[in-house]
């Protein structure tokens, strides 16, 4: 089987354009990561396969000994893999998964040539380095602390650095041969350059961009080419190389949907943390997917997952153009979109109404009285319906040019490829409102646009009262399916100005947990400088206990409750407080697990490392409880806009609840939790909050906790309605009718595109409503005419020829998984032509895989398969109607299911 769907993209996204992501990382056919029990010679190991496997990457490192290999004959790959797994010298073997290149939606870019003008456009101008003010990074600058002597490794698309490696080369796309070299420069993507600038940009640039830890030594491990994916074998290699190069901190703004800390990449990162090097990973940009959508490798044990809050300032790099009202000329800034043929466009403005608070401005078709708009630039307010719909309404009246004015601070780059439209742009809300006022008073507004690529740019900073300082709507929510607390804490990642490759404009404003994570890495370096320790646990505990939780906020309106711990972790990092804290906690958070595994009594240690005695008092501060489901019968977790929050808090008892510690003393505190009452446990509420630890020295620490008031094991994980058989070519996944005959490629040839295109393969679509640690699929024979069918085994009461290749599938995220099937089984054999159905079993969370009742089960409709045979059999060809000449249906008697069934009938008579 070939998993078709691409993985969720982490990283930089525009906050405004989130959709619920349900894709899962793709598996690379025939490629496996092998971990050795003990060190062994990789070349000798590969030679054992006698030419049937080649080496992808030698993965022999201090903390991981193994290799990734590619079976040449992918036909027998699973069988070989199964054999390898049984070797006593092998600890484990797992398929190579691919993670896509950081997709960034760039909000705006600008270049060195532009004069720096900070100008107020409908907002307020303050410090452009508000991310530093928000996290107290400026205090380190004032104290001259820059992260000097600390090595930070950035695993990304590359950047300019002092150490590191390019593991892949420009042309790498995830499927072809990587071409490693020693120069990890990012000249085609930009993501890595932006990330590196957040950590260590030097202050000699026109926009005054300053890295948070300018003094660090930066290492870059480039794992993406200009386009495409990376396999987790290269990610594992990059992490180990970064570790062995003596990095003090490793940061990666990469990931994909998971929710399982057992994921192999996550497990390797955990191991590096255990060996003393902190690893921060962006929490993911799938906030829209709701609760329980943790991303790997951020979801690894001891891996520090970084959530994002929005910048309190929205910076924008705007292209300069002019407009005239009453023949008075003024300049304004805009962001070009797609299309963008703005060169020398000079037209008057027109707008459908003058209401600057109209939520759905331009969403309805324009009235009949509308003039022909071909001689105007149409001004439309952003909001409610899509940009494309708004553009279509304008174009229907002849418009060729559209400018959107924003309904939140700043601008963004809009894509609206509508036939008839020549150019689109965005302007700040203030400019739009000013123009509308002029139009309303009957004035003519003449706008002289400029080519956004070549126009001079200037930086404008807008106050962000809508979301500044609150959790970014895109930031992914935990916890993991096993109720480990994720994310750990947050830093600013929404609306971040940083460096960008020269070819792409030199500077850019990007949004994503990708932008939050490097700031956290820089903060680790600063805290290391001040405290003189590099211990991951100590620093994570300090950052967690001193972080500031904030209220939940949606669409510019704050809720009365603190945002749930599965969204914000410990809260917004306060780096200076962490560096200076004299009270230390022994943990960064507590999980009380779910009701079935309720672990209400837990302990942690409070240490007073200060020079005088402190009296502490402990209290419980609840955060909003988040219902996983919208209703008791719902199968799929609610997406973010409809996640219901309540103020039913857990109660906690502390022993002792107040105590005094002399200088250097410590004390164990016992916490006893009582889950909140009055909740509908069928809707799987995730409760959370903070243990406030207030000291008489005016210290105020908090320790996040969470738990699930309900049973994860009782939750249905398999969405049976959307688990079905479709045609491989059908991207809409429509279920096929019973007894459809699929014509598969000749055995072993499904990997050849030409054959695939002629074949008609079935596609198994498995939809998981919640994560499942294991999916098994049985190929159930419905005819008895083949020897294989006659010898079918029985597993969990189901007759089976075995599982298709790729099954069982371990540690699956929630969402839709798609597998095209070419008839191959996990043992490498092909099922004979015949009539079959597939039985799908998904293991419940915390389920015992040896018990059939621990799975959700469904089955597909019956279907028939037969195989194409190759052209060389044409001599004895027997064309079937509609078949192309090159590919003929085989002549062997048992190669058609109909023949097989006819035989069966004959036998029965």
Ligand X SMILES: *[C@@H]1O[C@H](CO)[C@@H](O)[C@H](O)[C@H]1NC(C)=O
Told to check if 634 binds ligand X by CB under 6 A, we report no
Could you say which residues in the range 568-607 bind ligand X, by CB under 6 A? 591, 593, 597
Q: Of 89, 202, 275, 355, which lies in the binding site for ligand X, with binding defined by CB under 6 A?
A: 355
For the chain, helix (H) and strand (E) counts, in that order, are 16, 50
Instruction: Report in angstroms how near the CB of residue 864 gets to ligand X at its nearest.
Output: 8
Interface segment toward ligand X; rule CB under 6 A; list 95-103, 300-308, 476-484, 720-728: 476-484
CA distance 766 to 814: 10
CB of 126 to ligand X, least distance (A): 7
Q: Which of 68, 105, 130, 156 is catalytic?
A: 156
Which tokens belong to 518?
């490097």
**Alpha-carbon distance 632 to 45, whole Å?**
53
Name the minimum Å distance from CB 217 to ligand X.
36
- CB atoms inside a 10 Å sphere around CB 864: 21
Report if residue 358 touches ligand X, rule: CB under 6 A.
yes
Identified catalytic residue from 258, 295, 467, 514: 514
- Is 164:184 a contact under the CB 8 Å cutoff? yes
Interatomic CA distance for residues 261 and 34, integer angstroms: 19
The two tokens of residue 545 are 């206990």
Residue 234 is a binding residue for ligand X (CB under 6 A) = no
Backbone angles phi, psi at 361, to 5 degrees: -60, 125
Contact with ligand X (CB under 6 A) among 229, 484, 856, 859: 484
Among 307, 349, 483, 509, binds ligand X (CB under 6 A): 483
Q: Give the per-residue contact string, 699-738, with ligand X (x = CB under 6 A; - = no).
A: -x-------------------------------------x
Which tokens hold the place of 258? 């998971």
The separation between CA 124 and the C-alpha centre of its own chain, rounded to angstroms, equals 33
- Binding to ligand X by residue 739, rule CB under 6 A? yes
Number of Cβ within a 10 Å radius of residue 705:
24
Distance of closest approach, residue 114 Cβ to ligand X, in angstroms: 7
How far, in Å, CA of 775 to CA of 856, rounded?
A: 10
**Which residue in the set 458, 477, 561, 576 belongs to the binding site for ligand X (CB under 6 A)?**
458
Q: Figure out which of the listed residues 55, 117, 584, 681 binds ligand X, where binding follows CB under 6 A.
A: 117
Q: Which of 3, 7, 8, 29 binds ligand X (CB under 6 A)?
A: 29
Q: Of 779, 838, 839, 774, whose CA–CA distance to 808 is shortest?
A: 774
Active-site annotation holds for 41: no
Q: What is the DSSP letter of 289?
A: G
Q: Find the DSSP H helices in 561-668.
A: 565-568, 575-580
Size of the site for ligand X (CB under 6 A): 35
Can you tell me which of 19, 82, 113, 115 binds ligand X, judged by CB under 6 A? 115
Nearest to 144 by CA among 519, 529, 705: 529
**SS3 per residue for 346-386:** EEEEECCCCCCCCCCCCCCCCCCCCCCHHHCEEEEECCCCC
Which of residues 339 and 456 has its CB atom nearest to ligand X in the complex? Answer: 456
Enumerate residues 846-875 that contact ligand X by CB under 6 A. Answer: 846, 862
Least gap, CB of 485 to ligand X (angstroms): 7
Task: Using DSSP bridges, classify how beta strands 313-325 and 457-463 pair: parallel, antiparallel or unpaired.
Answer: antiparallel
Instruction: Decide the pairing of beta strands 601-608 and 666-674.
Output: antiparallel
Question: Per-residue x/- marks for ligand X, 285-314, CB under 6 A?
Answer: ------------------------------
CB of 312: closest distance to ligand X in angstroms? 11
The span of 166-174, 212-220, 481-489, 884-892 binding ligand X (CB under 6 A) equals 481-489
320, 422, 648, 873: which one binds ligand X (CB under 6 A): 320
| Backbone torsions φ then ψ of 324, nearest 5 degrees | -130, 130
Q: Residue 741, SS3?
A: strand
> 700 vs 736, which CB is nearer to ligand X?
700
Q: Which of 169, 208, 456, 808 binds ligand X (CB under 6 A)?
A: 456
Concerning whether 191 is annotated as a catalytic residue, the answer is yes
Residue whose CB is less far from ligand X, 422 or 694: 694
Q: Which of 550, 587, 751, 899 binds ligand X (CB under 6 A)?
A: 751
Residues 493-512 that bind ligand X (CB under 6 A): none
Residue 443 has φ and ψ, to the nearest 5°, of: -85, 155
Pick out residues in 65-94 that bind ligand X (CB under 6 A): 74
Torsion-angle region of 584 (φ positive above 0: left; ψ -120 to 50: alpha; else: beta) = beta
Could you tell me if residue 664 is left (phi over 0), alpha (psi between -120 and 50 degrees) or otherwise beta? Answer: left
Closest distance to ligand X from the beta carbon of 332 (Å): 9
CA-nearest of 776, 846, 784, 832 to 804 is 776
Q: Identify whether the C-beta of residue 52 lies closer than 8 Å to the C-beta of residue 226.
A: no
End-to-end C-alpha distance for the chain, whole angstroms: 37
Residues 511 and 640: their CA atoms lie apart, in Å, by: 18
Q: Which is nearer to ligand X, 158 or 478 (CB)?
A: 478
**Which range of residues in 48-56, 357-365, 500-508, 718-726 is near ligand X by CB under 6 A?**
357-365
Q: Point out the catalytic residue in the list 191, 310, 413, 760.
A: 191
Dist. CA 55–CA 49, nearest whole Å: 11
Q: Are 278 and 536 in contact (CB under 8 A)?
A: yes
Closest distance of CB 178 from ligand X, Å: 12
Smallest gap from Cβ 653 to ligand X, in A, equals 15
Cα pseudo-dihedral 323, 326, 329, 331, rounded to 10? -40
Question: Where does this chain touch ligand X (CB under 6 A) — which range of 180-188, 230-238, 301-309, 477-485?
Answer: 477-485
Nearer to ligand X, 356 or 514 (CB): 356
Nearer to ligand X, 162 or 176 (CB): 176
Q: For ligand X, which residue of 40, 582, 694, 714 counts as binding (CB under 6 A)?
A: 694
Whether a cis peptide bond, with omega within 30° of 0, leads into 479 is yes
Give me the least distance between CB of 763 and ligand X, in Å please: 17
Alpha-helical (H) ranges within 441-510 are none
Q: Which residues pair with 799 in a beta bridge?
A: 794
> C-beta of 358: minimal distance to ligand X in Å?
4
d(CA 516, CA 510): 11
162 is annotated as an active-site residue: no
Segment 155 to 184, residues that bind ligand X, using CB under 6 A: 175
Nearer of residues 159 and 606 to ligand X, judged by Cβ = 606
Please identify, among the stretches 219-227, 351-359, 543-551, 559-567, the one whose residues bind ligand X according to the rule CB under 6 A. 351-359
Tell which one of 38, 357, 787, 790 touches ligand X (CB under 6 A): 357
CA distance 611 to 583: 11
As beta bridge partners, residue 152 has 218, 249
* Shortest Å, Cβ 883 to ligand X: 22
Q: Considering only residues 446, 679, 692, 795, which one is a binding residue for ligand X as defined by CB under 6 A?
A: 692
d(CA 6, CA 484): 26
> By CB under 6 A, is residue 841 in contact with ligand X?
no
Alpha-carbon gap, residue 753 to 83, rounded angstroms: 29
Q: Mark residue 897 as left, alpha or beta (left: phi above 0; alpha: psi -120 to 50; beta: remaining).
A: alpha
- Binding-site member from 3, 271, 397, 727 for ligand X (CB under 6 A): 397
Query: Which of residues 103 and 126 has its CB atom nearest to ligand X in the complex?
Result: 126
Residues contributing to the site for ligand X (CB under 6 A): 29, 74, 115, 117, 124, 175, 320, 322, 331, 355, 357-359, 372, 374, 397-398, 456, 458, 482-484, 591, 593, 597, 617, 619, 692, 694, 700, 738-739, 751, 846, 862
Residues labelled as active-site residues: 156, 191, 514
């Amino acid at each position: 089987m070939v998993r078709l769907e691409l993985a969720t993209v982490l990283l930089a996204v525009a906050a405004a354009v989130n959709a619920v992501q349900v894709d899962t990382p793709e598996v690379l056919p025939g490629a496996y990561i092998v971990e050795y029990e003990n060190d062994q010679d990789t070349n000798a190991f590969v030679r054992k396969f006698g030419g049937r496997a080649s080496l992808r990457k030698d993965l022999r490192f201090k903390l991981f000994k193994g290799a990734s290999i590619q079976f040449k004959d992918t036909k027998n790959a699973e069988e070989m893999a199964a054999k390898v797994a049984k070797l006593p010298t092998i600890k484990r073997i797992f398929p190579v998964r691919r993670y896509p290149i950081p997709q960034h939606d760039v909000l705006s870019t600008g270049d060195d040539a532009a004069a720096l003008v900070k100008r107020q456009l409908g907002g307020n101008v303050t410090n452009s380095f508000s991310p530093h003010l928000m996290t107290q990074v400026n205090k380190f600058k004032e104290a001259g602390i820059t992260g000097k002597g600390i090595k930070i490794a950035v695993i990304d698309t590359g950047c300019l650095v002092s150490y590191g490696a390019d593991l892949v080369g420009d042309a790498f796309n995830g499927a072809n041969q990587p071409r490693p070299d020693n120069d990890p420069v990012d000249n085609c993507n930009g993501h890595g350059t932006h990330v590196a600038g957040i950590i260590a940009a030097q202050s000699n640039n026109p926009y005054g961009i300053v890295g948070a830890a300018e003094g660090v030594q930066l290492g870059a491990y480039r794992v993406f080419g200009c386009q495409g994916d990376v396999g987790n074998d290269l990610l594992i290699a990059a992490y180990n190389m970064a570790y062995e190069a003596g990095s003090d901190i490793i940061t990666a703004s990469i990931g994909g949907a998971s929710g399982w800390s057992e994921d192999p990449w996550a497990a390797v990162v955990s191991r590096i943390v255990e060996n003393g090097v902190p690893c921060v990973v962006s929490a993911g940009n799938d906030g829209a997917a709701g609760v329980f959508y943790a991303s790997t490798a951020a979801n690894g044990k001891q891996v520090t997952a970084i959530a994002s809050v929005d910048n309190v300032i929205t910076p924008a790099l705007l292209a300069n153009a002019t407009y005239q009202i009453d023949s008075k000329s003024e300049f304004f800034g805009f962001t070009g979109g797609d299309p963008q043929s703005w060169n020398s466009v000079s037209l008057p403005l027109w707008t459908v109404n003058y209401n600057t608070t109209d939520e759905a401005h331009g969403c309805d078709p324009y009235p009949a009285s509308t003039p022909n708009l071909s001689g105007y630039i149409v001004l439309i307010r952003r909001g409610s319906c899509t940009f494309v719909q708004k553009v279509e309404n304008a174009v229907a009246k002849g418009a060729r040019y559209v400018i959107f004015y924003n309904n939140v601070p700043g601008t963004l780059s809009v894509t609206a490829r509508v036939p008839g439209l020549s150019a689109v742009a965005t302007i700040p809300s203030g400019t739009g409102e000013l123009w509308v006022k002029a139009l309303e008073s009957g004035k003519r507004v003449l706008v002289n646009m400029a080519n956004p690529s070549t126009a001079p740019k200037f930086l404008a900073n807008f106050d962000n009262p809508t979301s500044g300082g609150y959790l970014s709507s895109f930031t992914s929510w935990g916890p993991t399916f096993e109720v480990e607390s994720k994310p750990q804490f947050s830093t600013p990642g929404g609306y971040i100005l940083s460096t960008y490759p020269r070819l792409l404009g030199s500077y850019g404003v990007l949004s994503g947990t990708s932008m939050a994570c490097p700031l956290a890495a820089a903060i680790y370096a600063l805290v290391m400088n001040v405290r003189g320790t590099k211990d991951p646990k100590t620093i994570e505990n300090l950052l967690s206990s001193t972080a500031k939780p904030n209220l939940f906020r949606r669409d510019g309106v704050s809720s009365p409750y603190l945002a749930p711990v599965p969204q914000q972790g410990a809260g917004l990092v306060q780096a200076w407080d962490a560096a200076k804290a004299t009270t230390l906690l022994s943990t960064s958070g507590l999980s009380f697990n779910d009701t079935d595994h309720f672990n209400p009594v837990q302990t942690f240690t409070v240490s007073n490392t200060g020079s005088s005695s402190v009296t502490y008092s402990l209290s419980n501060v609840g955060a909003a409880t988040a219902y996983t489901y919208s209703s008791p019968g719902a199968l799929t977790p609610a997406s973010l806009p409809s996640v219901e929050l309540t103020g039913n808090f857990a109660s906690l008892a502390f022993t002792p609840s107040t105590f005094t510690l002399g200088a250097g003393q410590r004390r164990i505190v016992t916490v006893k939790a009582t889950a909140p009452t009055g909740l509908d446990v069928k809707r799987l509420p995730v409760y959370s909050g903070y243990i406030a630890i207030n000291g008489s020295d005016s210290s105020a620490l908090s320790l996040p906790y969470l738990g699930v008031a309900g049973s994860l094991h009782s939750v249905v994980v398999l969405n049976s309605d959307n688990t079905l058989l479709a045609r491989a070519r059908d991207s809409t996944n429509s279920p096929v009718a019973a007894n459809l005959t699929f014509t598969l490629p000749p055995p072993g040839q499904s990997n050849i595109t030409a054959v695939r295109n002629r074949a008609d393969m079935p596609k198994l679509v498995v939809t998981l409503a919640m994560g499942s640690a294991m999916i098994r699929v049985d190929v159930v024979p419905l005819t008895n005419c083949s020897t294989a069918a006659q010898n079918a085994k029985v597993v969990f009461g189901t007759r089976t020829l075995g599982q298709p290749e790729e099954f069982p599938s371990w540690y699956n995220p929630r969402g839709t998984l798609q597998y095209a099937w070419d008839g191959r089984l996990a043992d490498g054999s092909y099922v004979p032509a015949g009539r079959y159905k597939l039985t799908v079993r998904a293991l419940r969370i915390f389920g015992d895989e040896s018990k059939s009742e621990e799975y959700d089960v469904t089955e597909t409709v019956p279907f028939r398969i037969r195989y194409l045979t190759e052209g060389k059999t044409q001599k004895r060809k027997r064309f079937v109607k509609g078949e192309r000449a090159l590919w003929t249906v085989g002549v062997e008697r048992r190669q058609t299911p109909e023949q097989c069934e006819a035989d069966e009938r004959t036998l029965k008579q």
